[in-house]
């Protein structure tokens, strides 16, 4: 925060000494950069998860975006991979929703309920080779909450 304030203060002092349109544009650009780089607030990990969830749930069918889909053998393997990482004795009750995103492979965002009636969601990346990586471990709650 101190760095941002110093940047804005320095920019204002510089603008007062400078003349011409070029310096006014420079001032505006520097102030916008200060705001964009986080002078206002910082994000928590919960905010980042919420932003990820919004990208999954609130897409508008953008190319490369997330799409709601049905269970497939590949998404079922991704679900099994996510549940195996949970180290739980609970069994899967049913799948609530599945979203996929085609990248250099496929991302699967899967929401599921375990037999204890708790809802979880996880994100699994499946590479073109078939290897899977847990992008977001299973967490309590809905994907789109």
Enter the DSSP assignment of 31. H
Higher pLDDT, 137 or 51: 137
Same domain, 55 and 26: no
User: According to DSSP H, which parts of the chain are helical?
Assistant: 2-17, 21-36, 45-57, 73-84
Give pLDDT tens digits for 46-92.
444 444 446 887 766 677 889 999 999 999 999 999 999 998 999 99
Residue 136 and residue 72 share a domain: yes
**One domain for residues 79 and 112:** yes
Whether residue 49 sits in one domain with residue 21: no
Range of the domain at 85: 45-140
Token pair 């290897």: residue: 131
Distance (Å, whole) CA 46 – CA 4: 24
Kindly report the pTM of this predicted structure. Answer: 0.62
Decide if 145 is inside a domain. Answer: no
Largest CA distance in the chain: 71
Q: What is the pLDDT of residues 28-47, one digit of tens each?
A: 666 655 565 554 444 444 44
Residues whose CB falls within 8 Å of the CB of residue 121, separated by 6 or more in sequence, listed in order: 109, 110, 111, 112, 136, 138, 139, 141, 142, 143
């Amino acid at each position: 925060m101190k760095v941002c304030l110093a940047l804005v203060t320095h920019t204002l002092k510089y603008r007062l000494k400078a003349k011409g349109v070029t310096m006014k544009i420079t001032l505006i650009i520097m102030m916008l950069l200060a705001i964009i780089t986080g002078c206002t607030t910082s994000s928590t990990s919960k905010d980042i998860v919420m932003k990820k969830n919004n990208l999954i749930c609130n897409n508008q069918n953008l190319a490369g975006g997330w799409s709601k889909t049905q269970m497939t053998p590949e998404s079922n393997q991704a679900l099994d991979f996510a549940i195996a990482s949970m180290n739980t004795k609970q069994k899967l009750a049913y799948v609530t929703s599945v979203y996929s995103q085609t990248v250099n492979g496929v991302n699967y965002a899967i929401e599921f309920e375990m037999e204890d009636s708790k809802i979880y969601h996880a994100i699994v990346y499946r590479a073109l080779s078939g290897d899977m990586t847990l992008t977001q471990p299973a967490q309590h709650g809905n994907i789109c909450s």
